[in-house]
Chains A and B, each alone.
Chain A
Amino acid sequence: MVAQNLRLAIRGLSVVFTRRRGGSVTAVENLSLGVREEEFVSIVGPSGCGKSTLLRIVAGLIRPTSGEVMLDDRPVEGPGADRGMVFQSYTLFPWLTVQGNVEFGLRLRGRPPEERREIAHRYLDLVGLRGTEPAYPKELSGGMQQRVAIARAMANEPAILLMDEPFGALDAQTRSVMQELLLRVWEQTHKTVLFVTHDIDEAILLSDRIYVMTTRPGRIKTEVAVTLPRPREVSVMDTPEFIALRQRVHGLIREETLRVLGLESRDHL
């Protein structure tokens, strides 16, 4: 890869939520990270460590208490079509067909109908869902809905795609098929992706780099480079390199989980 420019740069980010009845929670504290152009980066960490909060800040849905978020050297001020997002919950608009959902962003920007149709077809093709255009979301399985959600986010051609545990609500079988699909999609598009998950295998399989977060307040604990060659097959998960990476990331997250439980090391167990 030639592209080495920082697409997304986060520096000294902190988020403090104030509770309604007084008191405050520091969700993210002094966090810094970067995502290069055409890079697939994952964030893993124990639940409640501020992963979703971080992604929502990049999306512009929440304002940070301090720190800066730069996309292509411009500060993020609010939500915008240049940062697409796929959520863990099913967020297709139920009143729109698959086609209407994928066209949603293009319609907002006043693209002409033929162009919208052509782009929608292209991205539905990419996620293997050509032919479902006239269906309503309620007629689709959970996995299909998430594929449409991916196509919908990508149809806007955002500078970065943010994914917050997009397969978290799916069963194990579907999840693994979806991981493979996303791997194929990424290899065809080389989209810049910031991906949140607590599934370690998923993170290793898909990513170029993995950031491991600490427990709340969330900070970057370590950065792990995934040097497995691309294009990758699912069979890569059985290689010694993959297993070594899994053990390393697993150990890092385990340290954090033990800390949440108030157990500094396993001797206390």
Chain B
Amino acid sequence: MKRDRPGLLARLSEVLRPHEPISRSAYLAGVGASAVGIFALWAILTYGGLVAPLFLPSPSDIVRAAAALIADGSLAEHTWASVNVIVTGWVLAVLLAVPLGILMGTLKFVEALLEPVVNFVRYLPVSAMIPLLILYIGIGTPQKVAVIFIGTFFQLILLIADVSANVPKDLLDSAYTLGARRSDVFGRVLLPATLPGVMDNLRITMGWAWTYLIVAELVAANRGLGYMILDASRGLFTDRIFVGLFTIGLLGFGFDATFKRLHRLLLPWSPKI
């Protein structure tokens, strides 16, 4: 079974068929090509002197800035502060939005109670609520947590409501014909049936929570990656801004991968894996 190695063009056309799976090696080649490509472009722009360091620092500048921030412990401190704020705000949002969302998608009456309010609030820019938040709860960590909470809660509740509204009615009816009462149906059918969708949306809203970081650390912060970036921009320390961005990107990547792993680990039955 000896075959000629296909030419580059033939192999390219092989991996570019719509909606067709490709081999793992072809996929990894794509990942590698994008990483190498971006890095090469970056190196040419900076070391080639095409862009001033003020706008785009070179890779070595950023490594140097990162090393300094790691050495004096400030990067760890800022990271810890931000993770704390984001995870707290997000967990509070999840604890409330998941049960309320499930009820909202299941009971028309709860939908009537919540949906108009949620749809009104979710269009309000979180930054516009900061003055009120300061008035209500001051300028400490709770205010920052509240920003993350508001930013995720109102989106998450709608996503979860959609997940629970899409649980097939026949699944509930099956449970009834097997002797389930209404109270059984919530805990034994609706809750487990929504878990895969809930898990997906937890992952997605965790990503959104990070995008509110700057807004959360806009006011009276003295720690946090958002603060670090804002502070660096005042002194035009572009390299530190990039260190902050890289750290946020890596954390987001890590959280995302963790959620995907957890999904596979905790819900081995999920049709989504």
Cβ contact of B269, chosen from A83, A87, A94, A104, cutoff 8 A: A94
Contacts of B173 in A (CB 8 A): 56, 59, 61, 79, 85, 87, 91
A2 to chain B, nearest CB (A): 29
B195 x A81 contact (CB < 8 A)? no
CA distance A59 to B179 in the complex (A): 11
Q: Which residues from B are CB-within-8-Å of A95?
A: 192-193, 195, 267, 269
Contact assessment for A105 and B176 in the assembled complex, using a CB-CB cutoff below 8 Å? no
Q: A91-B168, A91-B171, A94-B269 are in contact. Are A61 and B176 (CB under 8 A)?
A: yes
| A219 at the binding interface (Cβ < 8 Å) | no
Let me know if A156 and B178 touch, CB within 8 A.
yes
Interface residue ranges of A83-100 to B (CB < 8 Å): 83-85, 87, 89, 91, 93-96
B180, A108: Cβ atoms closer than 8 Å: yes
Give the interface centre of A60, A93, A137 by most chain B CB atoms within 10 Å.
A93
Determine whether A153 belongs to the interface, using a CB cutoff of 8 Å to chain B: yes
Contact A83 B177 (CB under 8 A): yes
Interface size of A as a range: 20 to 34
- With known contacts A91-B168, A95-B195, A84–B177 Cβ distance under 8 A: yes
Q: How far is the CB of A108 from chain B (nearest CB, A)?
A: 5
Residue A259 CB within 8 A of the other chain: no
Q: Is the CB of B179 within 8 A of A87?
A: no
Asked if B189 is at the interface of the complex by the 8 Å CB criterion, the answer is: yes
A105–B174 Cα distance when bound, in Å, is 10
Q: Is B131 an interface residue (CB 8 A)?
A: no
User: A95–B191 Cα gap in the complex (Å)?
Assistant: 11
Check: B184 CB closer than 8 A to any chain A CB.
Answer: yes
Contacts of B177 in A (CB 8 A): 59-61, 79-81, 83-85, 153, 162
Contact present for B268 and A87 (CB under 8 Å): no
If A93-B192, A95-B267 touch, whether A81 touches B171 (CB-CB below 8 Å) is no
In the assembled complex, the Cα of A61 lies from the Cα of B175 at a distance in Å of 11
Contact B179 A105 (CB under 8 A): yes
CA distance A60 to B184 in the complex (A): 17
Known A87-B173, A89-B170, A138-B271; contact A105-B192, beta-carbon cutoff 8 A: no
Main secondary structure of the interface of B (DSSP, over half): helix
Per a CB cutoff under 8 Å, which of B178, B268, B271 touches A152? Answer: B178
B183-200 CB mask vs A (1 if < 8 Å, else 0) is 010001100110100000
- Say which residue of A84, A89, A136 sits within 8 Å of B178 (CB atoms): A84
Within 8 A of A (CB), among B65-91: none
Chain B residue total in the interface (Cβ 8 A): 22
The interface residues of chain B lying within 8 Å CB-to-CB of A137 are 269
Quick check: is A109 within 8 A (CB to CB) of the other chain?
yes
Chain A residues with CB under 8 A of B193: 93-95
Could you tell me if B184 and A108 are in contact, using CB atoms closer than 8 angstroms?
yes
Question: Measured between C-beta atoms, what is the minimum distance from A119 to chain B in Å?
Answer: 13
Do B170 and A105 have beta carbons less than 8 Å apart?
no
Interface residues of A in 13-53 (CB under 8 A from B): none
Contacts of B174 in A (CB 8 A): 85, 87, 91, 93, 149
A92 to chain B, nearest CB (A): 8
Chain A CB count within 10 A is highest, among B179, B189, B270, for: B179
Most buried by A among B171, B192, B268: B171
Nearest residue in A to B191 (C-beta to C-beta)?
A95
**Chain B residues in 8 Å Cβ range of A84:** 177-178
Indicate the member of A79, A81, A138 with the most B CB atoms within 10 Å: A79
Distance to closest chain A CB from B96 (angstroms): 24
A87 proximity list for chain B (CB < 8 A): 170, 173-174
Query: Which residue in chain A gives the minimum CB-CB distance to B176?
Result: A79
* A108 to B187 alpha-carbon distance, docked (Å): 12
State whether A109 touches B179 (Cβ < 8 A): yes
Contact B170 A91 (CB under 8 A): yes
Of chain B, the residue at the smallest CB distance from A138 is B271
CA distance A109 to B25 in the complex (A): 52
Q: Mark B154-180, 1 if CB is under 8 A from A, else 0.
A: 000000000000001011011111111
Residues of A with C-beta under 8 A to B168: 89, 91
Segment 173-228 of B: residues with Cβ below 8 Å from A: 173-180, 184, 188-189, 192-193, 195
Additional pairs, 14, CB under 8 Å, beyond known A91-B168, A93-B174, A149-B174: A59-B173, A61-B173, A61-B177, A79-B173, A80-B179, A85-B174, A93-B175, A94-B271, A95-B192, A96-B269, A104-B178, A105-B179, A108-B178, A108-B179
Interface residue ranges, A against B (CB under 8 Å): 56, 59-61, 79-81, 83-85, 87, 89, 91, 93-96, 104-105, 108-109, 136-138, 149, 152-153, 156, 162
Q: Can you list 26 pairs linking A and B with CB atoms under 8 Å apart? A: A59-B173, A59-B176, A60-B177, A61-B173, A79-B176, A80-B177, A81-B177, A81-B178, A85-B174, A87-B170, A89-B168, A89-B170, A91-B168, A91-B171, A91-B173, A93-B189, A94-B269, A95-B192, A95-B193, A95-B267, A108-B178, A108-B180, A108-B184, A138-B271, A149-B174, A152-B178
